[in-house]
């Protein structure tokens, strides 16, 4: 029996317009609550952005945000990762040598972007980071807890850069691709699956009672973890290899369709 459902957002739960069928989900969520099944949003995006998608229920569901660096359940912060300051400066110095890489530094209070980055990058970042500050120097920031770098790189160089960063900074950072020329640098071991594990321990839920949905490289660990793991039809090859099952694409409301089946609700797009 499923006791917990965890969904990635972009390319998985959301369509290309960054939306989802709210009335259909409302019906599903009502049934999940009736059956005491937990709903978890597991994304590389910022917590403040993620909760905006669920204004009516954000205080009663759980979020594994920033690719696992921040876990908040029913308004309670359960976990917040942290890079030590020297490590942050080491990575900033490394990235400064590659002008084609645009950088966002993510913290508990806010995300930060250097004013020298392109306007297009800054405007795009605002869609995913509702708390975003433009600063003159990322090495001279106000006090915050920093737990992730979000990078925009030339799309054709994404996988090569992931491999290079993981080799260069082994044990210090883990580079994961979220697709489309975007990648994150996260704390080793603090990925989405780790965030789900924190919630599972809180509620006494086994991997055999967990369903996960994803489409990108940053979903692989949580897909491998769950007995009921679903790769979206639009997902990467790595995701399809990691998952036990497949789901229709995000444009076909694949997550909602599969969860309806798991709940034995039937397929009703209302």
Instruction: Tell me which residues are annotated as active site.
Output: 8
- Angstrom CA distances, 185 to 4, 105, 152, 189, stand at 27, 10, 11, 12
- Cα 114 from chain centroid (whole Å): 23
Order of strands across the sheet with 62-65? Answer: 76-80, 70-73, 62-65, 38-42, 4-7, 210-214, 228-232, 245-247
For residue 73, what is the enclosing H or E element?
A: strand 70-73
Q: Are 2 and 209 in contact (CB under 8 A)?
A: yes
Q: Are 159 and 114 in contact (CB under 8 A)?
A: no
Q: Concatenated DSSP letters for 151-202?
A: EE--GGGHHHHHHHHHHHTTTT-EEEEEETTEEEEE-TT-SHHHHHHHHHHH
Contacts of 123 (CB under 8 A, 6+ apart): none
Between helices 22-34 and 254-263, what is the axis angle to 10°?
30
Q: Could you give the residue ranges of the DSSP H alpha helices within the chain?
A: 22-34, 47-51, 85-95, 119-128, 158-168, 192-203, 220-225, 237-242, 254-263
For tokens 């994404």, the residue is 158
The residue count of the chain comes to 270
């Amino acid at each position: 029996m499923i006791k917990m459902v965890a969904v990635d957002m972009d390319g998985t739960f959301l369509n290309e317009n960054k939306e989802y069928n709210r009335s259909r989900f409302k019906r599903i969520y009502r049934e999940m609550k009736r059956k005491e099944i937990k709903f978890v949003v597991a994304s590389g995006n910022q917590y403040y952005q993620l909760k905006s998608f669920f204004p009516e229920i954000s205080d009663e569901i759980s979020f594994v945000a920033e690719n696992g660096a921040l876990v908040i359940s029913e308004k309670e912060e359960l976990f917040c990762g942290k890079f030590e300051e020297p490590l942050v400066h080491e990575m900033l110095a490394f990235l400064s040598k590659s002008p084609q890489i645009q950088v966002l530094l993510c913290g508990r209070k806010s995300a930060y972007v250097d004013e020298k980055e392109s306007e297009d990058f800054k405007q795009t970042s605002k869609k995913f980071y509702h708390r975003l500050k433009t600063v003159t120097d990322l090495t001279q920031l106000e006090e915050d807890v920093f737990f992730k770098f979000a990078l925009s790189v030339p799309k054709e160089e994404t996988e090569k850069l992931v491999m290079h960063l993981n080799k260069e900074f082994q044990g210090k950072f883990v580079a994961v691709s979220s697709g489309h020329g975007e990648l994150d640098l996260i704390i080793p071991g603090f990925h989405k699956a780790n965030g789900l594990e924190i919630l599972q321990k809180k509620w006494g839920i086994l991997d055999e009672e967990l369903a996960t949905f994803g489409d990108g490289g940053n979903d692989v660990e949580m897909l491998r973890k769950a007995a009921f793991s679903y790769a979206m039809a639009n997902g990467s090859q790595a995701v399809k290899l990691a998952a036990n099952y497949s789901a229709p694409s995000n444009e076909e409301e694949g997550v909602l369709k599969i969860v309806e089946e798991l709940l034995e609700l039937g397929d009703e797009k209302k």
